[in-house]
Amino acid sequence: MSHTLIIGAGITGAALAYQLSRPGEPVTILSTHAEGGLASAASFGWLNASFYLSHPHYHLRHEGLAAHRRLTEALLGLPTTWQGCLWYEATGEAQDETASDLAALGYTVDRLTRAQIAERLPALGPVPETALFFPEEGVADPASLARALIAASGAKVIRATVQSLTEAQGRVTGVLTDLGPFPATRVVLATGTGTSALLQPFGYVLPMLKRPGLMIATNPLPPICPVVLATPDQEVRQDASGHLIAPASAGHQGDHAETLGAFPVVVNATLQRLRALFPGHDIHFAHQAMAMRPVPGDGLPVVGQGPLQGVWIAVMHSGATLAPVVAECLAAEITGSPDSPMLAEFRPARFR
């Protein structure tokens, strides 16, 4: 009988465990960090297809939104919300261009006037002339979602660090961990920034960008931000307990910074921007989460068969958006379905 090991308990490993355990496959998750992962526990959690790097990337992200909706229908009580995004990261002609490009791809885009923006966001201090509203977008807490998916999958979770993959004649036989060896017929690497180190001994170099991410949470506030708000210098959302959740960098999905800067300076600058957005509110720092974002060298997901038979890779940024659809497609491939055309542009082989 086949035995699948998933390495990693973030949103990617959890979504894969959920999909792979459905046909009754015995699945075990090995992870250094507890259920909820590493990047997943620091994520902004914005579910969107308005940010994309290529048309196949757009289509995968758009299907990602649909896959999230399928999960919320299948598993009641998931904390995923669909409040939409009010976006004016670009203004003027650049905003018009974004609207037409997205509309041409079939995305739902509403153009809002100043009065309509003020009506939706009465607490907003500086109200722009125009903005776009993307009603299909929402928010997930990837760490909570990962925990819910792992619970629903019934997968066994073991806290262990994988030191290496083991193989015989080009085929994986399991993994070696700090707790000892674990045999397996299949190993799925949902290891985020830990993936390259496990593949390097087999001659596969997975380039990863250095992209630290810092997420700041404020004190709880009355409801002032009912949407994901994306302005030219700040993205922000409000969670169910009233905290504003804000990445410390503007346009964080395409952010190219390799360093974060001094912590107090970065936090204060973010708080200043939030206070300017929502004047009249007493906004303070409450807590933060920091993680390296798992961004492959060309910014696109890396999904498919690895350098050894029986090894599969699923590494991606925007994993909050993408993990459920990638897991649907990859789990089908792992269990014998034909290759998914949706993953064609994102294969590991492009880096060989």
Ligand X SMILES: Cc1cc2nc3c(=O)[nH]c(=O)nc-3n(C[C@H](O)[C@H](O)[C@H](O)COP(=O)(O)OP(=O)(O)OC[C@H]3O[C@@H](n4cnc5c(N)ncnc54)[C@H](O)[C@@H]3O)c2cc1C
DSSP annotation of 81 reads B
113 or 163: CB nearest ligand X: 163
Kindly tell me which of 111 and 205 has the beta carbon lying closer to ligand X.
Answer: 205
Nearer to ligand X (CB atom), residue 122 or residue 181: 181
Q: How far apart are the first and last CA of the chain?
A: 32
Closest CA to 292 of 314, 267, 319: 319
Burial 114-128 (b: 16+ CB within 10 A, else e): eebbeebbebbeebb
Q: CB 113 → ligand X: shortest distance, Å?
A: 27
Nearer to ligand X, 273 or 317 (CB): 317
**C-beta of 119: minimal distance to ligand X in Å?**
26
Q: Which C-beta is closer to ligand X: that of 116 or that of 288?
A: 288
Nearest approach in angstroms of CB 143 to ligand X is: 8
Task: Tell the smallest beta-carbon distance from residue 48 to ligand X (Å).
Answer: 7
As to burial, measured by CB atoms within 10 angstroms (0-12 exposed, 13-18 middle, 19+ buried), residue 218 is buried
Task: Compute the least distance from the CB of residue 280 to ligand X, in Å.
Answer: 27
Grouping H, G, I as helix, E, B as strand and the rest as coil, residue 319 is: helix
Say which residue the tokens 């498919």 belong to: 304
Helix (H, G, I), strand (E, B) or coil at 150: helix
Do 296 and 288 contact (CB within 8 A), yes or no? no
Q: What is the Cα–Cα distance from 87 to 85, expressed in whole angstroms?
A: 6
DSSP-derived 3-state class of residue 283: coil
We find the least distance from the C-beta atom of residue 313 to ligand X, in angstroms, to be 11
Contact positions toward ligand X, by CB under 6 A? 7-13, 30-33, 37-40, 42-46, 142, 161-162, 190-192, 194, 198, 213, 215, 247, 252, 291, 293-294, 316-321
Q: How far is the CB of 125 from ligand X (least distance, A)?
A: 23
Determine the length of the chain: 352
| Closest CB to ligand X among residues 51, 133 | 51
The residue among 118 and 292 lying less far from ligand X, judged by its C-beta, is 292
Considering only CA atoms, which of 171, 197, 157 is closest in space to residue 311?
171
